[in-house]
Amino acid sequence: MAGSPAAPLLADAHCHLQLSPLGGCVESTLRRAREKGVGAVMVCATHPDEFDAVERMAGLHDTASGSIMVLVSLGVHPFRAADVSAPPPSGAEAEAAWVADVRNRIERSGRRIGIGECGLDRSPSGLARCPMDVQLAVFEAQVALAAELGLPLTVHCVRAVAHVATALRRHAPLRAPVVLHSWAGKPGALGELTALGCVPSFSGAVCNPAFKAARSSAAACAQDALLAETDSPDQLPVCMRDSRCGGGGRGAGEGHVGAATAASVRAAGSAAATPRALPPAAATSGGGAQGPCCSGASAARSSGSANEPCNVSVVAEHLAAIRGERPAALAARLSRNFVATFGALDKDGHLERALGTRGAPTESKAKLATGADAESAEP
């Protein structure tokens, strides 16, 4: 008797494997991700100090469960923009050293590197870390480089929709997708950016009933303008921090998204879809997001445990419930959208093979965009 078809592989559209505690256990983190059905990840740098480590991760990684493709992107996060904002030494016409560094790395790689995480953050914490004029200058430089080279751009947009939209219009056409990462804003704000071709990527924020705006946006966005991410090692889904949701603690065996989580999805409500019951999440035994590798997570992680790319399956399950779609169908759609968004960075065809999407139809867009961080519920 023929076996049942293999479950579609997932892709994590935004993570930071270079950051503690994941930076010391990249291969085991990727192994756990592949064991839970993740076939590709996008790793984003946030500062020039991380560029070397992130660039070394790029490529196809073999595990006992199969191959997982790592794509990479280099950028300067708005929180860290002040570190690179000094004027070029040779005058206004010269390119800043950090921009030249990104350009050189892209050219040396054969244009296999995206740009970001970059963006704007007008939340109180964002402005306290870096003034808006400095954020704008550093962001504009990265948008300009993405437009010039025709590369995907990953954007952090918190309470800055109008400013981000202005920058994108100024440098249009961008010729490649722009990803608004961890979108947590209202559908109306998202619509202003999707009108420019932007695509939202949803993180563990959609697992939290308190993030009603993010969930409404997830329910309303178009099928071919939708990505899922973990933002690892941050944003561990709330259901994995709370034993009522079946996530279990560190070292737990068969952690899963249980009935309490399905009830929370229904309780939060969705403006555009009838939630479906959530299937059990994949097991977290053998480490998972709360395994031994991550036991050194810093106190800054609100849960005390680090998030990992393997948990994109939990995000996808919640997205399916919010949108009223079959989980397997949504997983396949998310993988095709990932290829349509980042496929230009894969020159050898490894990405589609890793995700199992070779030969599947894709809806490639001339312009896509994704990016708003769930650190603020309002963009």
- Which of 2-6, 20-24, 296-300, 370-374 is modeled with the greatest confidence? 20-24
CATH level 3 topology of 10-86+97-241+306-342 = TIM Barrel (3.20.20)
Q: Give yes or no for residue 279 having a pLDDT over 80.
A: no
Residue 89's pLDDT band (boundaries 50, 70, 90)? Answer: low
Task: Name the average pLDDT for the chain.
Answer: 79
**Structure confidence by residue, pLDDT tens digits, 117-139:** 999 999 999 999 999 999 999 99
Q: What is the pLDDT of residues 43-72, one digit of tens each?
A: 999 999 999 999 999 999 999 999 999 999
pLDDT over 90 percentage in the chain: 66
Residue entry with tokens 């300009």: 144
Q: Give the pLDDT confidence score for residue 357 in this predicted structure.
A: 72
Confidence band (pLDDT; 50, 70, 90) for 197?
A: confident
pLDDT in tens, 246-262: 333 322 222 222 223 33
pLDDT at 149 over 90: yes
Residue 213 scores a pLDDT above 90: yes
- Residue 242, pLDDT score: 53
Band (pLDDT 50/70/90 cuts) for residue 368 is: very low
Q: What pLDDT does residue 297 have?
A: 33
Q: Which two tokens stand for residue 268?
A: 């939060």
pLDDT tier for residue 356 given thresholds of 50, 70 and 90: confident
Query: What's the pLDDT at 82?
Result: 95
What pLDDT, on the 0 to 100 scale, is given for residue 271? 32
The predicted pLDDT at position 246 comes to: 33
Question: Residue ranges of the domains in the chain?
Answer: 10-86+97-241+306-342
255 or 240, which is more confident: 240
- pLDDT score for 130: 97
